[in-house]
Amino acid sequence: MSTSGLAGGAAYYTAMANAVKAVGSIVKLKPEEFTRILSTVSDPLIVTATGGLFSKWYKYLFAYRGLTFYCKSSSEFMLPGGAQVIEAQKISIPDI
């Protein structure tokens, strides 16, 4: 690998590390674990987004006890009645 390639790779990982620091801890969960934890929270604030070209997906995000929980699912969740829901155009999570 060339020196410029190594520098580019290092810059990418530095940028991703900084993105995680800016956002905080993000915990990616399976749908069943996400909904289990969500059911223990009263009046949660949930951010949702949908998308997909060939098959539809749903993304969910909410904060609880200092952590941000994230889930991507092929099916839509039934959200708690007291939840405040924000429909975002896009949810982007750093992948490192």
Nearest to 60 by CA among 76, 75, 71: 71
**pLDDT in single tens digits along all 96 residues of the chain:** 555 556 666 676 666 555 555 557 899 999 999 999 999 999 999 999 999 989 999 999 999 998 999 999 999 999 988 999 999 999 988 775
Does residue 18 sit in helix, strand or coil? Answer: helix
* Res 25: pLDDT: 82
Say how far apart CA 61 and CA 88 lie, in whole Å.
10
User: What domains can be seen in the chain, in order of their start residue?
Assistant: 25-96 (3.30.720.90)
Say how far apart CA 76 and CA 60 lie, in whole Å.
10
* Res 9: pLDDT: 63
Nearest to 92 by CA among 63, 62, 61: 61
